[in-house]
A and B are shown apart, each in its own frame.
Chain A
């Protein structure tokens, strides 16, 4: 009898399809001189003083585990940060957990909440990890489509339509990757109302919170009446402080929930890497002293490029929703008659520009492409010229 590896693996994991982005990545990598708008991270290197804090910590021989929840000093600093920036109060002692990137926090939250068969609402298009994360817990992802027509707003009515007696929680991914949408205060309140009425939990992924270009800034759903008790707020250092490779995230939740997630974290991770925590501590400390100067300068730089991208795509005749968060634009290429996948593949072949098909982020992303503008200005301008030329050949 021949050995059949498929017999030995977890069937629900095996059934999750490979990432739609992967295929594209393999092709894009082989093209020399390609300009990539397909990245998903800042083009800044982590500010030097932050890197230096980690180097000094190594030189000082700080190589031991930290407490499971993370360095107390860091949790205290996170508590101040959450209060100063987002008007949210959490106890460093038992309501804040430092994680290996926001990704671990998402996984912890899902595993802590979802029983097999329970449903989790996921607005789409959105980040690729949520649905597989739900599946890994034995839960069932329930996509809630959003559309360019209404600015990719999550509509309370659309949400309510998809709630069943099995619905347990909703993931709230705003500011959104890939659309760049943020939820208006009005919509956020309506969504919160549905959540309270149906007694759901919220996993609020706010990793792009600092990259909000609306004058009023970011509003966390946890600040709305009756929401903090049922919300796990996820944030981190990757996007705001250009620290993606450090894998430093955190979650904030009422003590009971943090305690449940703590168990998973303790037995699987032990603690986030110490040097990353030291670097994160430096980022927040200095930020408190200089009014978050690092973040502000990077945000201003993204904002200028954001305006350039939206205006350029519109000039090319494409419909482009104005994103007020993250560092992506998500223009519609429906007019070209091509699917997202065809558009990106042909653009890559013809002009060596990498964009990501909207369908990688859920079926409702069809007709769109995701373009990341966290790239040097001269490269962006070149890429825009190439896209313009490509469009003229269609």
Chain B
């Protein structure tokens, strides 16, 4: 990965709504080069999508989140990939990681209510033949996500004018 790609990703992660003209100025490269680099990163799956970081707690939407540890039996030839796919195809499952340690997969699961989430675990997840055990941890509060602090107390404390 070259410096331009890193620079662009750093800027886009801070604000992905900046127009190409500004990205070109900020990186000191031509508009065409920047457009092409971004387009390539999109094609290569480096940039998957441009989405806001949302604090759902401040919205009216009902939402329950849980981290679920899952132990599974890996399958011949396919290892964990096939069972991971069986799991990530569920809409409720937002994130799936293969982990080292006491369990195999870690899921971030979302549902509207506690009941819905419990229903998902008991009827959809646990019943998969390769799943040998689960442990569900409900999220009580989100402090920081993707590098963004949700209730940032670090307001700008600088003097407005300073020599």
Q: Are B162 and A40 in contact (CB under 8 A)?
A: yes
Q: Are A38 and B161 in contact (CB under 8 A)?
A: yes
Complex Cα distance, B154 from A361, in Å, reads 31
The answer to the question of B11 belonging to the interface, with a C-beta cut-off of 8 Å to chain A, is yes
Partner of B15, one of A34, A177, A311, A377: A377
Of the candidate stretches A7-15, A21-29, A152-160, the one touching chain B is A21-29
* Nearest-Cβ distance from residue A386 to partner chain B, whole angstroms: 16
Complex Cα distance, B161 from A356, in Å, reads 8
Of the candidate stretches A54-62, A200-208, A302-310, A335-343, the one touching chain B is A302-310
By size class, the interface of chain A is: 20 to 34
Complex Cα distance, B162 from A128, in Å, reads 10
Q: Are B160 and A304 in contact (CB under 8 A)?
A: no
The answer to the question of A378 belonging to the interface, with a C-beta cut-off of 8 Å to chain B, is yes
CB-based nearest A residue for B11: A304
Known A300-B7, A307-B25, A307-B26; contact A128-B163, beta-carbon cutoff 8 A = yes
Partner of A28, one of B26, B27, B156, B161: B161
Q: Are B15 and A21 in contact (CB under 8 A)?
A: no
The answer to the question of A129 belonging to the interface, with a C-beta cut-off of 8 Å to chain B, is yes
> Which residue, B22, B25, B163, has most C-beta atoms of chain A within 10 A?
B163
Complex Cα distance, B79 from A23, in Å, reads 70
The answer to the question of B14 belonging to the interface, with a C-beta cut-off of 8 Å to chain A, is yes
- CB-defined contacts of B7 to chain A, threshold 8 Å: 300, 304
Q: Are B26 and A39 in contact (CB under 8 A)?
A: no
Q: Are A378 and B15 in contact (CB under 8 A)?
A: yes
Complex Cα distance, B70 from A255, in Å, reads 67
Complex Cα distance, B26 from A25, in Å, reads 30
Q: Are B11 and A39 in contact (CB under 8 A)?
A: no
The answer to the question of A127 belonging to the interface, with a C-beta cut-off of 8 Å to chain B, is yes
CB-based nearest A residue for B162: A40
By size class, the interface of chain B is: 10 to 19
CB-based nearest B residue for A311: B25
Q: Are B161 and A36 in contact (CB under 8 A)?
A: yes
Complex Cα distance, B156 from A90, in Å, reads 37
Q: Are A40 and B14 in contact (CB under 8 A)?
A: no
The answer to the question of B101 belonging to the interface, with a C-beta cut-off of 8 Å to chain A, is no
Q: Are A45 and B163 in contact (CB under 8 A)?
A: no
Partner of A41, one of B11, B15, B22, B162: B162
Partner of A39, one of B10, B22, B162: B162
- CB-defined contacts of B141 to chain A, threshold 8 Å: none
Complex Cα distance, B10 from A127, in Å, reads 32
Complex Cα distance, B163 from A25, in Å, reads 10
Complex Cα distance, B18 from A381, in Å, reads 9
Complex Cα distance, B26 from A301, in Å, reads 9
Q: Are A360 and B163 in contact (CB under 8 A)?
A: yes
Q: Are A305 and B26 in contact (CB under 8 A)?
A: yes
The interface bits of chain A over 114-143 (1 if a CB of B lies within 8 angstroms of the residue's CB, else 0) are 000000000000011100000000000000
- CB-defined contacts of A187 to chain B, threshold 8 Å: none
Complex Cα distance, B123 from A242, in Å, reads 53
The answer to the question of B28 belonging to the interface, with a C-beta cut-off of 8 Å to chain A, is yes
Partner of B160, one of A28, A307, A311, A361: A28
Q: Are B154 and A45 in contact (CB under 8 A)?
A: yes
Complex Cα distance, B163 from A24, in Å, reads 11
Known A308-B22, A377-B14; contact A40-B28, beta-carbon cutoff 8 A = no
Q: Are B26 and A43 in contact (CB under 8 A)?
A: no
- CB-defined contacts of B26 to chain A, threshold 8 Å: 304-305, 307-308
The answer to the question of A354 belonging to the interface, with a C-beta cut-off of 8 Å to chain B, is yes
Known A45-B154, A300-B7, A307-B25; contact A129-B163, beta-carbon cutoff 8 A = yes
- CB-defined contacts of B161 to chain A, threshold 8 Å: 21, 24-25, 28, 36, 38-39, 354, 356
Complex Cα distance, B163 from A41, in Å, reads 9
CB-based nearest B residue for A297: B10
Complex Cα distance, B22 from A19, in Å, reads 36
The answer to the question of B158 belonging to the interface, with a C-beta cut-off of 8 Å to chain A, is yes
Q: Which of B7-30 contact A (CB under 8 A)?
A: 7, 10-11, 14-15, 18, 22, 25-28
> Which residue, A24, A29, A36, has most C-beta atoms of chain B within 10 A?
A36
The answer to the question of B159 belonging to the interface, with a C-beta cut-off of 8 Å to chain A, is yes
CB-based nearest B residue for A20: B163
- CB-defined contacts of B158 to chain A, threshold 8 Å: 36, 39, 41, 43
* Nearest-Cβ distance from residue A336 to partner chain B, whole angstroms: 21
- CB-defined contacts of A29 to chain B, threshold 8 Å: 160
Complex Cα distance, B162 from A43, in Å, reads 13
> Which residue, A38, A43, A45, A304, has most C-beta atoms of chain B within 10 A?
A304
* Nearest-Cβ distance from residue B7 to partner chain A, whole angstroms: 7
Q: Which of B116-163 contact A (CB under 8 A)?
A: 154, 156, 158-163
What 5 A-B pairs come out closest when comparing CB atoms?
A40-B162, A38-B161, A304-B26, A25-B161, A311-B25
A/B interface sample: 5 pairs, CB < 8 A: A39-B160, A40-B163, A43-B156, A312-B25, A361-B163
Mark B residues whose CB is within 8 Å of A: 7, 10-11, 14-15, 18, 22, 25-28, 154, 156, 158-163
Mark A residues whose CB is within 8 Å of B: 19, 21, 24-25, 28-29, 34, 36, 38-41, 43, 45, 127-129, 177, 300-301, 304-305, 307-308, 311-312, 354, 356, 360-361, 377-378, 381
